[in-house]
Amino acid sequence: MNEYRNLFDLSGRGALVVGAASGIGLAAANGLAAHGARVVCADLDADGAERTAAGIQADGGQAEALALDLLDPAAPRRALEANGTPDVLVVTPAINVRQSFFEVEDEVFDRIVSLNLKGTFRMMRDVGRAMAERGSGSIIVFSSIRAEVVEPGQGVYAATKAGALQLARSLAAEAGLRGVRVNAIAPGIVETPLTARIQGDADWYRAYAEKPALGRWAKPSELAGAVVFLASDAASYVTGSQLFVDGGWTAVDGRFTPPL
């Protein structure tokens, strides 16, 4: 029995959360810290990263902040030099430009791919290499329901999220024998800064709320459990997987309720 009580205990482990200043990254940092991890809260928004770390410390947790630009090729090296090789890496940042496929300019395409895919890839590669050399680690990246199902105006974003999933699967295949697990989390519609414009449109907000089985948007805190699970020993035999936290979005084909 005792071995099961500690399945989610992260005491003594270090976690690097990229994108920790807000949204899902903030929730992930708090969730990991609440289960005992020492969390490095990394973000381009240095003040926001400081606030997240300070909040964790105020609650009795262990945390520090790190200013980090995922677009900087040296970002992974800087993170490793500053804090050593983490036991857990969580990568959350992404951007989304909603445009018709025919109107997307090369510059927009490159900007989305550079952050969502290339920045994530570099962090996975360099931190993953350090984990593999040590012989242990858990990497958690964020895909999306858009890695599986699409809607007009999100073609490039969807492609990067499908790419992030395949990167996770590929690294899982290569690094598994070296003790490194790699998984993706696919959120549905979440109330974060990324979706702020949609939240401000009552019709759009309602349409999205009506799509998943649970009939509502998610809060960022509802993603924290999936992060803690994949980071912990509870997921010791889970790698190369995509965990949907989408309220049933991808399981439900519309909201019509027939008279049964």
Domain ranges of the chain: 11-246
Q: Give the architecture-level CATH label for domain 11-246.
A: 3-Layer(aba) Sandwich (3.40)
Question: C-alpha distances in angstroms, 172 versus 37, 114, 151, 186, 255?
Answer: 23, 22, 29, 17, 36
Give the pLDDT score at 256. 64
- Order the strands of the 38-43 sheet from edge to edge: 62-67, 38-43, 14-18, 88-91, 137-142, 180-187, 242-245
Task: Categorize the per-residue pLDDT at 258 as very low, low, confident or very high, splitting at 50, 70 and 90.
Answer: low
Give the number of other Cβ atoms within 10 Å of residue 103's Cβ: 9
- Strand, coil or helix: 115: helix
Instruction: Say whether pLDDT at 260 is over 70.
Output: no
Per the annotation, the verdict on 205 as an active-site residue is no
Least confident of 1-5, 22-26, 83-87: 1-5
Give the pLDDT score at 13. 98
pTM: 0.95
Residue 8 to residue 233: CA distance in whole angstroms: 6
Of 4, 157, 205, 237, which residue is the catalytic one? 157
For 140-198, what is each residue's pLDDT tens digit? 999 999 999 999 999 999 999 999 999 999 999 999 999 999 999 999 999 988 888 88
Across the range 70-79, mean pLDDT stands at: 97
Give the pLDDT score at 171. 98
